[in-house]
Every structure is written in structure tokens, then in C-alpha cells.
Amino acid sequence: MNDTQGDIHTFAHSLNLTFKNPALLRQAFTHRSYLNEHRGEALEHNERLEFLGDAVLELVSTHFLYNKFPEKTEGDLTAYRAALVNAVTCAAVANDIKMNDFLLLSRGEAKDQGRARGVLLANAFEALIGAIYLDQGYDAAKNFITAHLLVKIDEIVKKNLWRDSKSTLQEKVQEAEGATPFYSVIRETGPDHDKVFVVGVYVKNMLLAEGSGKSKQEAEQDASQNALEEKGW
């Protein structure tokens, strides 16, 4: 991983993004842990941009779904949106556009290629949206989200990925095992303001799958989805 400004410009160029303020682009990729090891650099971490980008993402996706599915209920639209903007989908898109190659992380964080990396990628993706919004405005952020994330909706609907995975897993397990799955936190990482939860889903004390998320609820949904995929359900 090379953290030079030139490399980040290469990333922006690959997506046809031109930043008036390149510092915003660099900030979007800067994790808090990186600053702990580079205290001499005049950088800000990406958490405030992530906060802003999350709100822009929610508005853009909500407007998109409202227009695309005029016949759907509020409940269905909420489920579609949750599947579209959750950490798993955002991390997948971030991987697609090669954000992982440019993340600025501490040496310790850089070694972790597991589920925690997915959460960092999702956060950076939201921060990038925030940076685009501040630098170029709402329409530019909307165009970026539309091109890279909203295109996922047809697959999500076709494969029923929007369905509540915990409910689906419970139905399948009760049918197959005559038991109810339960969830338990395996570990928590990160500071209080930026925790990542890793949760296991179990049946009769056997681990079916693990999942991670920024909340226990999100981690449980991720674990249940992974269990469904593992079982071929």
C-alpha cells in the first residue's frame, strides 16, 4: 500500500473524479489509527466525512427507491434501503473501485484483512461520498452513488437479499433442526466511538457463521446472511 498523494490522485482519475480541494480526498482515506503513527502530518481522519456521507447516501438512496418502486410500501422500501446501504454492500463497492489499495491505516490495522477491514472500507466509502459532496455538491455525490452503488438494487431484489436474514434463518433452522438459532458477541474491536462487533450465530451450541458490523444488530444480520449462504439456503 502506497500512501502518496499522487497515488490518491490516480484513484480519483480512474473514477473520473477531479477534486478542487485534494485534501478532502486524502482525508476520506485517512483512518484515525494512521494519525496516531504520523502525528507530524497535517491531516484529519475521515470520521466527520463519514458522518456527512452517511446522510447524503441515505437521502440519495431513499429518493432513488421512492421513484423506482412506486408500488412498494414503506416497509419494503426500508428493507431495500437497508440492504443497499449496509456495511457489507458498501464495502463490496469500495473493493470494486479499489479503495482498499489507498487506505491510510496504522501498521496494526493494515495487517487485518478480515471482517474488520470490511467495516473500515464501508466507512471510507461513506467518507468519500462526504468528500465529493463538500467538494463538488449534491449532484456530483448523487452521480457517484448512482454509478457505483444504486446499480446493485436489481440483484438485491432478484435474489431477495433485502429480506430480513435473521427471520429467514430462523425459519430454515427450525424447519431443518427443530431448534432456534441464537446470537452471541465473539469480540469487540476499536474505540468506543468506532466499535466493530463480531457476532456468532449458533444452533445447538454449534457455530454456523460469524458476522460483523458497527452495531450488534448489524453484526447479527451479517452473521445470519453468512449462515444462509454457508448452508445454501
The domain segmentation of the chain, as residue ranges, is 5-158, 165-231
Kindly report the number of other CB atoms within 10 A of residue 13's CB atom: 10
**∠129-135-136 over CA atoms, to 5°?**
85
Domains 5-158 and 165-231 belong to one CATH topology:
no
Report, as an integer, the average pLDDT of 10-36: 92
Q: What is the pLDDT of residue 216?
A: 87
Q: What is the mean pLDDT of the chain?
A: 88
Topology of domain 165-231, CATH: Double Stranded RNA Binding Domain (3.30.160)
Superfamily classification of domain 5-158: Ribonuclease III domain (1.10.1520.10)
Over the stretch 153-164, which tens digit does the pLDDT of each residue have?
Answer: 998 888 777 777
State the pLDDT confidence band at 165, using cuts at 50, 70 and 90. Answer: confident
C-alpha 138, offset from chain centre: 20
Catalytically annotated residues: 54, 126
Report, as an integer, the average pLDDT of 83-97: 91
Q: Which residues pair with 212 in a beta bridge?
A: 198
Long-range pairs, 35-43, Cβ under 8 A, ≥24: 36/106, 37/106, 37/107, 43/104
Q: What is the pLDDT of residue 114?
A: 64
